[in-house]
Amino acid sequence: MTLSHSPAEDRGGPAQPLLLLKDLKKHFPIKGGLFGKTVATVRAVDGVSFAVQKGETLGIVGESGCGKSTTARLLMQLISLDAGEMVFDGEGVGEKTAGGLALKDYRRQVQMVFQDSYASLNPRLPIEDSLAFAPKVHGVSDAEARTRARELLAAVGLAPGIYARRYPHELSGGQRQRVNIARALALQPRLVLLDEPVSALDKSVEAQVLNLLVELKERFGLTYVFISHDLNVVQYLSDRVLVMYLGQVVEQGPVDAIYDRPAHPYTRALLASRPSMDPAKRRTEAPLTGDPPNPINPPSGCRFRTRCPFAELVCETQAPAAAQLGGGHEAACHMARPGSGHSQAARVAA
């Protein structure tokens, strides 16, 4: 693929994380009453910190209401941060930071693919025009943007001669998601944020799109943040995995550590909730009871304690800090921290 508009170059070197998030917070007020007073607050994202290394795929898993989509929107700066800091390849993001990376430049390097392939495309534009739109905004000439749009269609496996002039409604769900992926690549970003990109697709099409994502990552040297509720897909695609619960990170680490040696009881329950794929080994007991609590007024201390079979007094009174388990594996659980005051702390650590 020959593209004149060169991608932004690497600044900080391979050891510098591509994206560093520190203590992100986003609270949504709920207004009510006669004068629209704030009656409650949804703590959608409450102190989330993580790093995305260059060239890796970071998987984010969690159930509805855990804040994974809010994190994605914060990451794209589609909504503003209440508190926290974002550093992209060594530069602070946002106009407020002195000498930082302007939002327009940041967004050129970070692009997103959404779950709903239809809602995220303009129904009145042929897909070629949708793909050419963003490059034109960023100063590429019309002819060049079109040429690039056709190259991108070919790259995602849609013959430009057949598909370039079609409208979104003339495509199947899988084809539309390919167009969305192509559009995300149109600005030659370094980081692509994939928010449940295959959840709405049928299984046979899902596999096609997953193969495409792996291929494109290699071809264009991309870094992915992959958000999904499907643990199997996350395991397949990710190098590192982040588990979220009620607006906080409960565990993160290399994919094998998370799947083979999960340290947080929530991660263990989540993994044990997967259907077994073997009718001879059916689940006999649900690992957890009840639904995730409402992120308005989350439980004190550890937010998982209301559903945790190991909860003790310390879990109620103190929020657990992240315990380092080696190799970048960390879990926010009192049981993983020797001396935390939990009766099982020593056993797990040993």
Partner 1 sequence: MNAIMDKPILGGTAAAKQPLVIIRDLNVAFVTRDRTVHAVNGVDLDVGAGEVLCILGESGSGKSVTMRALMRLLPRFARVSGRIEVAGQDVMAMDERGLQRFRGGDVAMIFQEPMLALDPVFTVGRQIAEAVQRHEGASRSAGMARALELLELVQIPSAKRRLDAYPHELSGGLRQRAMIAVALACKPKLLLADEPTTALDATVQIQVLLLLRQLQEQMGMGVIFVTHDLGVAGEIADKVAVMYAGRVVEEGPVGALMAGPLHPYPRGLLGATVHGNMRGQKLTTIPGAPPSLETLPTACAFAPRCAEAEPACQTTLPEARRPVPGRMARCLKVAAG
Number of residues that bind partner 1 (CB under 8 A): 43
Task: Determine if 309 is a binding residue for partner 1 (CB under 8 A).
Answer: no
Task: Determine if 299 is a binding residue for partner 1 (CB under 8 A).
Answer: no
- Between 87 and 213, name the residue whose CB sits nearer to partner 1: 213
> Distance between CA 346 and CA 337 in Å, rounded?
8
Q: Give alpha helix (H) positions in the chain.
A: 68-75, 103-109, 127-137, 142-155, 160-163, 173-185, 203-220, 231-237, 255-260, 265-272, 313-317, 345-349
Closest approach of partner 1 to the CB of residue 21, in Å:
24
Closest approach of partner 1 to the CB of residue 340, in Å:
25
Binders of partner 1 among residues 157 to 196 (CB under 8 A) are 172, 174
**Contact pick of 79, 134, 207, 349 for partner 1 (by CB under 8 A):** 207
Closest approach of partner 1 to the CB of residue 224, in Å:
14
Task: Determine if 229 is a binding residue for partner 1 (CB under 8 A).
Answer: yes
* Dihedral angle computed from the Cα positions of residues 333, 58, 52 and 195, in that order, rounded to the nearest 10 degrees: -110
Token digits for 335?
Answer: 């049981």
Closest approach of partner 1 to the CB of residue 273, in Å:
4
> Distance between CA 257 and CA 39 in Å, rounded?
41
**Contact pick of 231, 311, 325, 333 for partner 1 (by CB under 8 A):** 231
> Distance between CA 13 and CA 229 in Å, rounded?
32
Instruction: Identify the burial level of 217 via C-beta atoms within 10 angstroms of its C-beta, where 0-12 means exposed, 13-18 middle and 19 or more buried.
Output: middle
Task: Determine if 232 is a binding residue for partner 1 (CB under 8 A).
Answer: yes
DSSP code for 279: G
Task: Determine if 297 is a binding residue for partner 1 (CB under 8 A).
Answer: no
- Between 87 and 246, name the residue whose CB sits nearer to partner 1: 246
> Distance between CA 10 and CA 305 in Å, rounded?
43
Token digits for 168?
Answer: 């979104």
Q: Segment contacting partner 1 (CB under 8 A): 9-17, 127-135, 206-214, 335-343?
A: 206-214
Task: Determine if 30 is a binding residue for partner 1 (CB under 8 A).
Answer: no
Is 44:225 a contact under the CB 8 Å cutoff? no
Binders of partner 1 among residues 259 to 278 (CB under 8 A) are 269-270, 273-278
Closest approach of partner 1 to the CB of residue 243, in Å:
12
The residue assigned the tokens 């609270």 is 27
- Between 17 and 62, name the residue whose CB sits nearer to partner 1: 62
Binding site for partner 1 (CB under 8 A): 63-64, 172, 174, 202-208, 210-211, 214, 229-233, 235-236, 255, 269-270, 273-280, 282-292
